[in-house]
Amino acid sequence: MPFENFRQDVHRWGLLKSSYVRIMRRLQRWLGFRLFVVHTRPLDPDPLQLALPAGCSVRILSEAELIEFSVDSALGLASDSIRRDNARGNLCFGYLEQAALVSYTWVATKATPAEGGLWIRFSEGYRYSYRALTVPSHRGRRLQLHIVHASDRWQAARGCRYNIDYIDTLNLPSIAADRRYGNRPVGYAGYAKWFGRMRLFRSPGVKAIGFEFFVPSPGEAE
């Protein structure tokens, strides 16, 4: 079975990427090593207006709405997380179909929690996209494209100029999907836990745009 899985991955992704994934999984397991590709793209202040089906809408969701939607476990929303994200000024753009939330993306313009107890920060003028989800029954319909256009328009009007995000280099499908929306790699960032110590690193391209992982102070981590 492992060889059959590898053969299928090679058919889909090629030999080099398939081999890389297996090597990196071992490094993660043995050394706590994580490597992420960082993507950016200019925000489009006037994206193409895509027609929405009858009964559908895309907009910013309020905290009360999100908490109400969180009762549906398929959405992966938690009330405590919603309250913390909203308190930091982060926003959730959602695609609704007949008043049901079927796709969403969170965005932040300030330092915000990331991986393994770390946070990320980035230069002014960037907005960070994270925690995007489309429910299984609606995948393949490119609903996130509607959200991208709505969030670009709203945040470009408020001074943001670029989108930024990061994806685990093992997550080949998400990397491919992200690049379909015009996101392009600027470099890599990551961390490793060696002998009980956290080692952080980033490539020059990532450093140039002010993106970094960091350990928050007690006040920042609230």
- Name every residue whose Cβ is closer than 8 Å to that of residue 161 and which is 6 or more positions away in sequence: 42, 43, 125, 126
pLDDT over 80 (residue 26) = no
Question: Residue 220: its pLDDT value, please?
Answer: 67
Whole-model pTM: value is 0.85
Q: If you average pLDDT over residues 56-63, what whole number do you get?
A: 98
Calpha distance 19→13 (Å, rounded):
10
3-state secondary structure of 7: helix
For residues 177 and 189, what is the distance between their CA atoms, to the nearest angstrom? Answer: 20
Tell me: the pLDDT tens digits for 74-125?
Answer: 999 999 999 999 999 999 999 999 999 999 999 999 999 998 889 999 999 9
Determine if residue 182 is left, alpha or beta; phi over 0 gives left, psi from -120 to 50 gives alpha, anything else beta: left
Q: What share of the chain is helix, strand, coil (3-state, %, to 5)?
A: 35, 30, 30
pLDDT digits (tens, 9 = 90+) for 174-216: 999 899 889 999 999 999 887 778 899 999 999 999 999 999 8
DSSP labels, 158-181? TT--EEEEEEETT-HHHHHHHHHT
In which region does residue 13 sit, left (phi positive, over 0), alpha (psi from -120 to 50) or beta (all else)? alpha
Q: How far apart are CA 114 and CA 92, in angstroms?
A: 16
The three-class DSSP label of residue 68 is helix
* C-alpha Rg value of the chain to the nearest Å: 18
The bridge status of strand 126-134 relative to strand 162-168 is parallel
168, 34 in Cβ contact below 8 A? yes
